[in-house]
Amino acid sequence: MLVEENFDVTRLTSFKCGGKIKKVFFPESLDEFVQILKETPEAKVFGNLTNTLVSSDGYSGAIILTTKMTNFHFSGYRAEAECGLKGAKLSQAAEEKGLSGLEFMIAFPGTIGGEVFMNAGAHGQNVAGCLVEAKCYNPDLGVITLNKEEMKFSYRTSVCQSKNLIVLSAVFELQPAPSEDIKAKMEENLHFRKTHQPSLTLPNCGSVFRNPEGNSSGRLLEQSGVKGYASGGARVWENHANFIINNGGTSSDILNVIQKMRNSVREKFNIELKPEVRFLGDNIKEVEICRDLKII
Ligand SMILES: Cc1cc2nc3c(=O)[nH]c(=O)nc-3n(C[C@H](O)[C@H](O)[C@H](O)COP(=O)(O)OP(=O)(O)OC[C@H]3O[C@@H](n4cnc5c(N)ncnc54)[C@H](O)[C@@H]3O)c2cc1C
């Protein structure tokens, strides 16, 4: 198994921001993964780092990146995938099998583990809509299988967040459908992305804030006048106010922009936006800001 020390993860993150991590494990099988989780319980687990802001000062602990665990298979109308597989890859494979249900994942840059953890969703579909069960690990319970009800999914959250559960693999129930219908839905989703969201050539982490109930963060941010706000190399995207583009900025730049966005909406609407993005780092000042933002 590959283990890196003082490893700079900047280029692996979708924000293209980060620093050196003291130890990074890259397990290649679920057995190796569980072994590391048992031996190094303090290690934090990440997937493709597309929803994570890594401190430019790095992190003095250990992390596990799941991206080398990418096995998947189909059995009847079900798809089972290891946590490190990219959602887009599973979506594509389902389309080739004539199975519908994962079209929303076609443009997702994250892994199955990250997507289950946060009940990722788009275009009216989400993980909760098709997940049957997930194999998870927690130091007290060991390896357990949770069904959909036990996963306690709701908007951008699952039981994994409150109970410190690591996702090992997940099973999805799909429905047979004509390939051209599945492809058409995927094309529609990809077109929407191209026209409404920044591509990864502009380093970003997807939507910065969750939508408050019955409201749209993008609209609240737009009406709060945050477009054009910048700090160092980080700025609110000119085309949609719920995205931050990072053009060589540091984690502090990005956090400044997130705070400014949150504060502007708070002042104008008295609504507290909650970020989707997570934080990894141990710079004390940044940790304080992240506690205030509730992203650690
Ligand atoms: C261009 C772009 C578009 C995006 N579009 C969408 C979208 O439409 N909808 C949407 O919901 N999200 C979207 N995202 C956000 C992101 O892709 C998702 O949140 C995805 O689920 C994150 O997966 P990841 O593997 O990159 O997670 P990471 O960034 O690596 O981790 C994010 C969180 O998940 C946890 N985690 C990761 N793997 C595991 C695991 N195996 N077990 C337990 N916890 C784990 C980490 O601890 C961390 O807290 C987008 C991001 C980008 C950059």
| 278 touches ligand 1 (CB under 6 Å) | yes
| 279 touches ligand 1 (CB under 6 Å) | no
Element containing residue 136 per DSSP (H, E): strand 131-138
Given the CA of residue 122, which atom of ligand 1 is nearest to it? 8
Say what the pLDDT of residue 109 is.
95
Say what the pLDDT of residue 58 is.
98
Given the CA of residue 119, which atom of ligand 1 is nearest to it? 11
Mutation probe of ligand 1 site: the residue of 104, 108, 169, 278 with most atoms within 8 A of C-beta = 108
The answer to whether the beta carbons of residues 244 and 226 sit under 8 Å apart is no
Residue of 8, 72, 2, 17 lying closest to 50 (CA atoms):
17
Say how many Å lie between the CA of residue 123 and the centre of ligand 1.
16
Mutation probe of ligand 1 site: the residue of 24, 44, 50, 166 with most atoms within 8 A of C-beta = 50
Q: Which residues contact 246 (CB under 8 A, 6 or more apart)?
A: 15, 16, 17, 203, 204, 233, 234, 253, 254
Say how many Å lie between the CA of residue 75 and the centre of ligand 1.
26
Place of tokens 């929407």: 192
For ligand 1, atom 2, name the residue with the nearest CA.
206
| 45 touches ligand 1 (CB under 6 Å) | yes
Say what the pLDDT of residue 256 is.
98
| 204 touches ligand 1 (CB under 6 Å) | yes
Nearest-5° Cα angle at 262, 260 to 268:
95
Q: How would you classify residue 206: left for phi > 0, otherwise alpha for psi between -120 and 50, otherwise beta?
A: left
Say what the pLDDT of residue 66 is.
98
| 109 touches ligand 1 (CB under 6 Å) | yes
Residue of 111, 102, 207, 113 lying closest to 160 (CA atoms):
113
DSSP string for residues in 184-250: HHHHHHHHHHHHHS--TTS---S-SBPPPTTS-HHHHHHHTT-TT-EETTEEE-TT-TT-EEESS--
DSSP state of 52: E
For ligand 1, atom 52, name the residue with the nearest CA.
206
Say how many Å lie between the CA of residue 200 and the centre of ligand 1.
14
Say how many Å lie between the CA of residue 206 and the centre of ligand 1.
9
Say what the pLDDT of residue 166 is.
98
Residues 119 and 159: their CA atoms lie apart, in Å, by 10
Residue of 52, 47, 43, 50 lying closest to 24 (CA atoms):
43
> 268-288: per-residue pLDDT in tens?
999 999 999 999 999 999 999
Structural domains of the chain ordered from first start: 2-65 (3.30.43.10), 72-196 (3.30.465.10), 217-293 (3.90.78.10)
The answer to whether the beta carbons of residues 182 and 235 sit under 8 Å apart is no
Q: Which residues contact 11 (CB under 8 A, 6 or more apart)?
A: none
| 217 touches ligand 1 (CB under 6 Å) | no
The answer to whether the beta carbons of residues 20 and 7 sit under 8 Å apart is yes
The answer to whether the beta carbons of residues 68 and 31 sit under 8 Å apart is no
* Residues in the chain where the model's pLDDT stays below 50: none
